[in-house]
Structure 1
């Protein structure tokens, strides 16, 4: 695991490998489209999570980053899942099939299509406050971190 603490960021930028994949966790502040553009610039996409094992690995890394790196307790992390094209039909932006999900069971149960202040929720985050389970949120939230999966 590689850690690089950047001033003005709320956690250390981290690069990890798992089952042949490389993940870059960047602690900048992004809207969903900005996060995906950042990941493409790094040589990948926002992460596609295909199995419970992969999801648990990422949850453990996020927990370590928060505890060891002194990260803010309220960090959210964009993943590459969205229902922008068809409301209620989630797709990975990588084009891979959705074979696994880890939605927060609530209350309110996710996905619920609604974010704070009744904004339409089409993009998915892993939320610390939900034990890093998944929540659909407003894509234009601008202070969310990015989990990139590099090719």
Structure 2
């Protein structure tokens, strides 16, 4: 599987007529966890620190952050403005982590069916 930065992944999805995956409910979150890969999701606070938005511009309302995320690197890792799903949290649902957008990860694109 190809790995690249959040911006690259976001643009790749757009080029395919899709978006980086937007998680709308717990069922979708649980499905993505079953893939058992660390992957970018379409969530960032690039525009305004601490204001997490999906790539379609909608604000984050339901979150699945692993504790104690998002921590913006805890002051030791530089800015962490993009979100990933990780598999190191024991909680079966809370699996998000904020990480530097220049990290290279897998990604998942999705299209919305009308």
Instruction: Bin the TM-score by the shorter chain.
Output: 0.7 to 0.9
Tell me the residue number matched to 2:77: 118
Deviation at 1:117, TM superposition (A): 5.3
- Partners of 1:97 and 1:116 lie apart in 2 by 24
| TM-score (norm: length of structure 1) | 0.66
- Partners of 1:115 and 1:42 lie apart in 2 by 35
Contact 2:18 2:111 in 1 (8 A): yes
- Partners of 1:140 and 1:87 lie apart in 2 by 16
Tell me the residue number matched to 2:3: 29
**Richer in strand (by share):** 1
Aligned to 1:130, the other structure's residue is in SS state coil
Q: Structure 1: give runs of 5+ residues left out of the alignment.
A: 1-26, 64-74
| TM-score (norm: length of structure 2) | 0.85
Q: Does 1:53 align with 2:27?
A: yes
Deviation at 1:37, TM superposition (A): 1.0
Contact 1:46 1:78 in 2 (8 A): yes
Q: 1:130 to 1:116 in 2, by over 3 A?
A: farther
Number of residue pairs the alignment of both structures matches: 109
Contact 1:82 1:124 in 2 (8 A): yes
Deviation at 1:129, TM superposition (A): 2.0
Higher relative contact order (CA 8 A, sep 6+): 2
